[in-house]
Structure 1
Amino acid sequence: MNRIETMEERTVLFGKYETGRLLGKGTFAKVYYGRQIETNESVAIKVISKEQVKKEGMMEQIKREISATRLLRHPNIVQLKEVMATKTKIFIVMEYVKGGELFAKVAKGKLKEDQARKYFQQLISAVDFCHSRGVSHRDLKPENLLLDENGDLKISDFGLSSLPEQLRNDGLLHTQCGTPAYVAPEVLRKKGYDGSKTDIWSCGVILFVLLAGFLPFQDENIMKMYRKVFKAEFECPPWFSTEAKRLVSKLLVSDPERRITIPEIMRVPWFRKGYTRPLAFSPPPASSDKSFDEDFGSTAPAPADAANHKSQSPNFFNAFQFISSMSSGFDLSNLFESKRKAGTMFTSKCSSAAIMAKIEHAAKALSFKVGTVKDFKLRLQGPNEGRKGRLSVTAEVFEVAPEVAVVEFSKSAGDTLEYAKFCEEDVRPALKDIVWTWQGDGNKVDGEE
């Protein structure tokens, strides 16, 4: 029996989600209201046709949206909960944000300064978090800013976002994208741009719109509008406070090198009024790959069996996860699973207990604190405060076969660059005695030439 029951019959997906009313639709996707059956939690489920995505040439955009959103766990960013797929469809399960678009609120007229400041503070906090993870949104506008039931802002739609691997040799992005009224002048110049600086420009346009109720750069002729953008030619309405006017004028600077930075924004007295920095969420649980079982013949035990043997052996690693993560001979990226970075996963022929003991020994040698999260899963915390606090890493052992285990490292907190250094310079040498193959190294055994 197919584990995806049709929308018309029972509206149940994979036995986990019940789908409801249609929330919206686009060229190749429909978004439904959904309910997690076990927890009764409301979710939004984006259903994407693979055939239409390929026809429209949007495959990379969908993959990028999934990859970017997986990296971002912040109170002011719409959360990705799970990605599932069949041979014909992709299902992206997202946090359900029921307050609608910020655009609808702005369309009724300008906001009071305190309310505009609150939304701008939340926007800057979320954008700063994106940039710290190497993600530039590139399409920030009120239509992509949602409000939850508490009236808090949530950034959505990372379809045009950029990741570090999209940078050219000059360290810049070159794709023209975004919405004309919100796009930065350097994007229009076609000479390459820094995605994080263009996001700041868009934030400036958004702040102006929130306070004014209309756009800073307007003209019926699109070329005339672009000329105004190039020159940063705009006027603040008389009701802007002096402090707000000063901040907008520092955000909407045509030269990206002279434009205010996020650390500088956060030091502006107007911005700091009533501001408290939100805490980022912990990483999401590993996404379910049950939807791929039929295609790849996974022999993973049923959930009940796994629970009964929890303390005796590590979790069984899904066959799809193993093939897509470890084998350089299989390119399964068209199934839209985000690629893991090299150096975060390896196979070993040692016993799970031996692997755990070796990781604990190596971590303590690096002065990391070691704690057990659950059976066959460790939490490692770095000794020093980094750019984003102390580096916190989880290490989990999965069983692939009686003689083979997969070990996965993932960052729980801290700076991404510090985590990359930890994986490449600290973990690899310390664990070389128990490693069979590192992810991304193909079939080469660690230590072989």
Structure 2
Amino acid sequence: MPGSNSTRTMVDPAAPEFVEGWSMVQTLGEGAFGEVKLLINRESGEAVALKMVDLHKHPEAETSVRKEMLIHKMLKHPNIIKFFGSRREGLMQYMFLEYAVGGELFDRIEPDVGMPSDQARRYFTELINGVHYLHSRGVAHRDIKPENLLLDVNDTIKITDFGLATIFRHSKRERMLDKKCGTRPYMAPELLAEKEYLAQPADLWSCGIVLVAMLAGELPWDEPSSKCHEYLIWKRREASYLGTSPWTKVSTCVLSLLRRLLQPTSAQRFTVTQIREHSWIAKHVTTPDIRHKSNGKTAPLTVSPESGPASKRICSELDNSFPVCVERMACSQPQPSVKAAFSQHLTAADDLDTDTLCFSQPAKPDHLLLASSPTTTNHDNSSATPLQRLVRRMTRVLVNCSLQDTIKHLDELFDTLHYRTAAHTPNILTVSTVDRRGAPLVMKASVLNMGAHILVDFRLSKGCGLDFKREFVRIKEGLAHIIVTGPVTWSLANATNTLPA
């Protein structure tokens, strides 16, 4: 389905229209303050992620959202998710972001296994490049974790979610930070020590924890404090930690890097320069290939004010000083400019608990519905149809019973797993449990009629991505007797009409 007509057919005519010509196709993620929706242009097939925050329900988020947008406008880097603009309607704030079709990094991490070392090295190098750029602009992210690291169509890391970001340097003057924010397993120890801290070492510590997660499929501790036995063993460099997980899963070379990167004293922690010079990184440095896989050529990064459909104004703010582009849903088509498409629609806080904001985008499209290994990577997406690039996700399964029976099986399984029912709307089951460290873990299961089969789409609403995947494995085992295990086909009309919105 490489032609433009095929991109038009993938949008359900009944899908809600955000503004003229742009339809909300599906929910990409959600958090306590709002949702992220996928917007598709009916004419061109262009895709944009729409982040929505309801300030009527959550007035406490207004300062943070305003700050997030101001910071995001400053950022223009290959490893940072692009910010296209914003729109305010009453107390509803909209942000328009690059659609990262590759999903979240955590979907590439197999629980308790991780991913191949070469793959982790490349992702880590791109992460460090992005973080180094942030710090060069005087920005601290303060919530680096796999759920906030997305992947584009070329499998390139994109740092996202700047809800906790702040400015730590302005006009060459740097300030100490004192807000204790982030996600505890990824936070640096100085953030929990009731004292001011330096921004850059704190972010780099979080990068180190991400590296452990990528290589071992687990986190080394619940939090880096005196309350945590695993952290104290690491801090004291007791020999016993070498024989424990996750350290037994990483090579000696990587362990030497982690010892310096996860140094409890921030002044002794590796800098970006030292990270790049470490043998595990330096011996494998390659020139980034940012060419599109469909044609081997670099996409034009130009903006034409005359291009794009003539529809009503979408955003109220846009920085037109830099060019951006986003992949069409069919790779073989020329790359459109989202700014160009929006050009006729546009004129150009610091303290939140990160658990209240958990925005994410769909998982890697290379994972088939019936689930390949999360460590499997296929960089060639050119053969994927627009529909396939929307619906493929590791945490989805097809089952061979009726919609009503599927809901019954899910209810019984959730009772067996001792999940608590948080909500039960038509065809959507919301359940909660706790993760390994006792924090809330909330999941949603959307039950969708695909014609010959039923699609059950599981999505993380709140909590740890790795623990969500562990729970999904348990759920999948519990549904094994009804899961379709062979090749399947379904009606394009059914599929597009039932994508979760």
TM-score (norm 1): 0.56
- Is it true that 1:172 corresponds to 2:176 in the alignment? yes
CA contact (8 A) 1:116 1:207 kept: yes
> Deviation of residue 142 (structure 1)?
1.2
After superposition, the C-alpha distances for 1:183-207 in whole angstroms (9 at most, x for unaligned) are 0011111211111110100111111
Q: Partner residue of 1:244?
A: 254
- Structure 2 residue identity aligned to 1:28: F
Q: Partner residue of 2:27?
A: 22
What are the residue-to-residue correspondences of 1:2-401 with 2, within 5 Å? Answer: 11-15=16-20, 17-37=22-42, 39-54=44-59, 57-108=60-111, 109-164=113-168, 171-218=175-222, 223-224=227-228, 228=232, 231=235, 235=242, 237-276=247-286, 290=313
> Deviation of residue 224 (structure 1)?
2.2
CA distance in 2 between counterparts of 1:138 and 1:106 reads: 22
- Structure 1 residue identity aligned to 2:200: S
> Deviation of residue 214 (structure 1)?
1.6
> Deviation of residue 265 (structure 1)?
1.0
Change (3 A) 1:152 1:242: same
3-state DSSP of counterpart to 2:127: helix
CA contact (8 A) 1:139 1:160 kept: yes
Change (3 A) 1:193 1:166: farther
3-state DSSP of counterpart to 1:253: coil
CA distance in 2 between counterparts of 1:285 and 1:257 reads: 48
> Deviation of residue 37 (structure 1)?
4.7
User: Between Structure 1 and Structure 2, how many residues are aligned?
Assistant: 289
> Deviation of residue 83 (structure 1)?
0.9
CA distance in 2 between counterparts of 1:148 and 1:276 reads: 19
Unaligned runs of 5+ residues in structure 2 are: 1-11, 291-299, 306-310, 317-344, 349-501
Change (3 A) 1:244 1:156: same
Change (3 A) 1:131 1:151: same
CA contact (8 A) 1:13 1:19 kept: yes
- Structure 2 residue identity aligned to 1:265: I
CA distance in 1 between counterparts of 2:13 and 2:189 reads: 48
Change (3 A) 1:72 1:129: same
TM-score (norm 2): 0.51
CA distance in 2 between counterparts of 1:166 and 1:259 reads: 23
Of 100-109 and 182-191, deviating more is 100-109
Change (3 A) 1:183 1:43: same
Root mean square deviation, CA, Å: 3.8
CA distance in 2 between counterparts of 1:202 and 1:190 reads: 18
3-state DSSP of counterpart to 2:254: helix
CA distance in 2 between counterparts of 1:232 and 1:175 reads: 26
Change (3 A) 1:279 1:90: farther
3-state DSSP of counterpart to 1:257: helix
Q: Partner residue of 2:385?
A: none
CA contact (8 A) 1:174 1:193 kept: yes
CA distance in 1 between counterparts of 2:108 and 2:276 reads: 25
> Deviation of residue 269 (structure 1)?
2.5
CA contact (8 A) 1:144 1:157 kept: yes
Unaligned runs of 5+ residues in structure 1 are: 1-6, 294-317, 322-449
Change (3 A) 1:162 1:8: farther
Change (3 A) 1:213 1:28: closer
3-state DSSP of counterpart to 2:103: coil
CA distance in 2 between counterparts of 1:244 and 1:49 reads: 43
- Structure 2 residue identity aligned to 1:262: V
| Rg larger for | 1
CA distance in 2 between counterparts of 1:221 and 1:110 reads: 25
Change (3 A) 1:273 1:70: farther
3-state DSSP of counterpart to 2:81: coil
> Deviation of residue 237 (structure 1)?
2.8
> Deviation of residue 114 (structure 1)?
0.7
3-state DSSP of counterpart to 1:120: helix
Change (3 A) 1:165 1:221: closer
3-state DSSP of counterpart to 1:187: helix
CA contact (8 A) 2:148 2:160 kept: yes
CA distance in 2 between counterparts of 1:23 and 1:123 reads: 22
3-state DSSP of counterpart to 2:177: coil
> Deviation of residue 69 (structure 1)?
1.7
CA contact (8 A) 1:84 1:291 kept: yes
Q: Partner residue of 2:416?
A: none
